[in-house]
Amino acid sequence: MPHYLTVGHLLRQLQGLDPNLPIRLAINPDFPFTHYLAAEVVVRDGKAFVADDGQEGYLPMEVSDALAWT
């Protein structure tokens, strides 16, 4: 995976998924929590930004393992 994710790369990864599947951010491998994504995408200075919209809970261990964070 590239260090700087692009909209196209993200779209390619998501296009085969169920569009009703909830999506979360996995944040900080030293303190693994999941966070909601805000609904709005803001584009400024040639970059797209999606805001964190609050913390949901601890990241499941299986996800930490898949991300090689454990």
Q: Is 21 exposed, middle or buried (0-12, 13-18, 19+ CB in 10 A)?
A: exposed
Q: What is the pLDDT of residue 2?
A: 52
**9 domain-assigned:** no
**36 domain-assigned:** yes
**11 domain-assigned:** no
What is the C-alpha separation between 33 and 16, in angstroms, rounded?
Answer: 25
**41 domain-assigned:** yes
| Total-model pTM | 0.75
Per-residue pLDDT of the chain (70 residues; tens, 9 = 90+): 456 778 998 899 899 999 999 899 888 878 899 999 998 899 999 889 999 999 999 999 999 999 988 7
13 vs 30, 39, 67, CA distance in Å? 25, 19, 15
Q: What is the pLDDT of residue 30?
A: 84
Tokens matching residue 54: 């609050």
Structural domains in the chain (count): 1
